[in-house]
Structure 1
Amino acid sequence: MSAGPEEVQPRGPARLADIGRLAAFSDGVFAIVITLLVLDLRVPEYHQGELLTSLVREAPSYLAFVVSFIYIGVLWLNHHALLRLVRGTTLALSWINIGILFGVVIIPFPTAVLASALVDGDTDDLRVAVVMYALAAALMSAPWLVFFAYLRRHPALRAGHIDQGHVHAQEARPITGLVLYGLAGLLGWIVNPLLGLLGIIVMIIYHGVTSEGLRTGPLQWVRTGRRG
């Protein structure tokens, strides 16, 4: 017996859900997380006439805030570019996106740990804080790799101007994140935590420069010697 009209499951792009709700929800999460970072900034305790000294002492925690603020901004830029690769979403892709957002929402915690270690901790404390931050950043890369792999295997999801080669090229970016954030954590643990933190900052810059992908944006200008 043939299936009724309500039982027919259309194939290809017709089965895709609109990307708008996923994008709106994700933007809301990013906005909340980047705002929550400021809650870790504190007015230091001080005696009369010593406010400036106390604020200077807290300066490293402000550095941790700035690094994470930029990091979340870079992640948002990357996520914005990511959604331009697809014409719609599926249940599986939505779950992968939730994995990406999970990595985003945990950032305030290693940020607070890093800020505390920079102000009140010794070298061992800072070593632990840098490794924690690097580990969180490395794990952040995993769902992005899954996203690109899923998109490569499901061409019906891709926007019309996106070819297989473009998607495949982007998989190198989360792989780079997994490896180099991990190495930054290792460097911070074995050699010097400040060197590990510097490695994390360099990787954030890398993901900012490549937010539009490896075939477009500033890296494209460097490779070709021209814009466009």
Structure 2
Amino acid sequence: MHQSYTRRITSGSDIERTTFFSDAVFAIAMTLVAVDIKIPQVPGNEMGRAVAEQWPEFAAYLLSFAVAGTYWLSHHRLFRLLKGFTAGLQRLNLVLLFFIGLLGYATDMLAFHSDRAIGVVIYAATLGFIGAANTSLWLYAGRRRMFKEDVDPRLITYARVRAPVTPAVFLVSIPVAFINPVAGIVTWLAIPLVDMGLRLWGSKLPDAVQADD
């Protein structure tokens, strides 16, 4: 009786509450990244220069929004393909949202300390852990056979190959940043290059895979 009750409350086919909650956390985190950019408190004739000097903050915001948006798209696509949830899936999802909540802090560290290893490392680690948690969701769902029956297995293979790219690059950049912070940031340019290669590979796969991209 207890096991039956436990299974009923920790698993099922209704994933709407999980997706709604996740979307809310993503939205709040991505909004707070912009909120942290403050209007310069300077005389009017100095405003142009003061705004121009904020370019590191705007650059960090642009990067964070783009990467977080990519992770949200991956998360959205994953849950669109699932036929249900389990307690394990929800726990992994909470781990992902935990690191998403740190996005604002990590962005500020990069914006104000991009010339120091600590700023680059904290940012790379946060984005890397977000990506690792997202990848874990895909791998978990695959191992537990949680995808809908009509999902092309090649689509899952493509997604599981693509998901680890961004977190892997961010995590690899950490030791590089300890040697040279600027070199650590430059390492991130590998993300669009590798992603472009995977897109070309995906374009040769069935239409179902291309549509998901």
| TM-score (norm. length: structure 2) | 0.80
In the superposition, relative to structure 1, how do residues 48 and 147 fare at CA in structure 2: closer, same or farther (>3 Å)? closer
User: What is the aligned length?
Assistant: 207
The offset of 1:50, in angstroms, is 1.3
Distance 2:106 2:55 in 1: 17
Runs of 4+ in 1 over 4 A off after TM superposition: 6-9, 163-166, 206-210
The offset of 1:17, in angstroms, is 3.5
The offset of 1:85, in angstroms, is 2.4
The offset of 1:198, in angstroms, is 3.1
Identical-residue share of aligned pairs (%): 25
- After superposition, the CA RMSD in angstroms is 3.3
Task: Indicate which of 81, 95, 101 corresponds to 1:99.
Answer: 95
Aligned residue number for residue 30 of structure 1: 26
Given that 1:187 and 1:196 are in contact with CA atoms closer than 8 Å, whether structure 2 keeps it comes out as yes
In the superposition, relative to structure 1, how do residues 57 and 220 fare at CA in structure 2: closer, same or farther (>3 Å)? same
Task: Indicate which of 66, 78, 82 corresponds to 1:82.
Answer: 78
2:148 maps to 1:159: yes
Task: Indicate which of 120, 125, 143 corresponds to 1:135.
Answer: 125
In the superposition, relative to structure 1, how do residues 61 and 180 fare at CA in structure 2: closer, same or farther (>3 Å)? same
Of the two, which has the highest radius of gyration? 1
2:147 maps to 1:147: no
Deviation by residue 1:8-40 (Cα, 9 ceiling, x = unmatched) = 67x9xxx62301111111111111111111221
Given that 2:83 and 2:147 are in contact with CA atoms closer than 8 Å, whether structure 1 keeps it comes out as yes
| TM-score (norm. length: structure 1) | 0.76
In the superposition, relative to structure 1, how do residues 159 and 209 fare at CA in structure 2: closer, same or farther (>3 Å)? farther
Distance 2:75 2:142 in 1: 17
The offset of 1:134, in angstroms, is 0.8
Given that 1:144 and 1:174 are in contact with CA atoms closer than 8 Å, whether structure 2 keeps it comes out as yes
Distance 2:158 2:202 in 1: 13
Aligned residue number for residue 184 of structure 1: 173
Distance 1:44 1:36 in 2: 18
The offset of 1:102, in angstroms, is 1.3
The offset of 1:80, in angstroms, is 0.6
Aligned residue number for residue 66 of structure 2: 70
Name stretches of at least 5 consecutive residues in structure 1 with no aligned partner.
none
Given that 2:165 and 2:195 are in contact with CA atoms closer than 8 Å, whether structure 1 keeps it comes out as no
